[in-house]
Amino acid sequence: MKTKELLSLLKSHQDKSLLFEYTPGQLVGAHYHITEVKHLQIDSVDCGANTDNWNETVIQLWESPSEIGKTEFMTVYKALSILNKVGRMRAYDLDSEVKIEYGNSLFHTAHLFVDDFEIHGSNLLLKLAVTKTDCKAKETCGIPETAEAEASSQACCDPASGCC
């Protein structure tokens, strides 16, 4: 989901509570806080020596240990006001992918994509998902698209291929 899509979604559902599902059936606790918003600029080189760059918006969630047992989730209105304040301080790249940074004692800290959303009564549920790593230079490395599943269990590139 792009940053502009998230902001628009939140603006349309300000009367709801904001929930995050970080893995199927598992919600970020109601005692979460938005602790940081990062405007990342990625400048990369892949294993085929191709350069790329893009921006990301990363919203960090943290569960306050002093509020364990809290049952009321943050409202969309409050989350949107936090994000709007950040946007006034540091402009968003509205076309950047938005990710949620989250982890707890049962789930490693990760940058999760907003994969989908659902409305359940008075709740807006953002469904988060991980994305597997991938070789962006398959053609350069001589990895056919059909071998993608097989390649995930083997090394990405042959040392003699000149890639990696």
Question: pLDDT tens digits, residue range 132-144?
Answer: 788 888 877 777 7
Q: What is the mean pLDDT of residues 54-61?
A: 98
In this structure, what DSSP letter does residue 131 have?
A: -
The tens digit of pLDDT for each residue in 38-52 reads 999 999 999 889 999
To the nearest whole number, what is the mean pLDDT of the chain?
90
For 35-40, the CB contacts below 8 A with 24+ separation are 35/60, 35/61, 35/62, 36/60, 36/101, 37/82, 37/83, 37/86, 37/90, 38/101, 39/90, 39/92, 39/93, 39/96
pTM above 0.95, yes or no: no
Q: What is the pLDDT of residue 153?
A: 45
Q: What is the pLDDT of residue 106?
A: 92
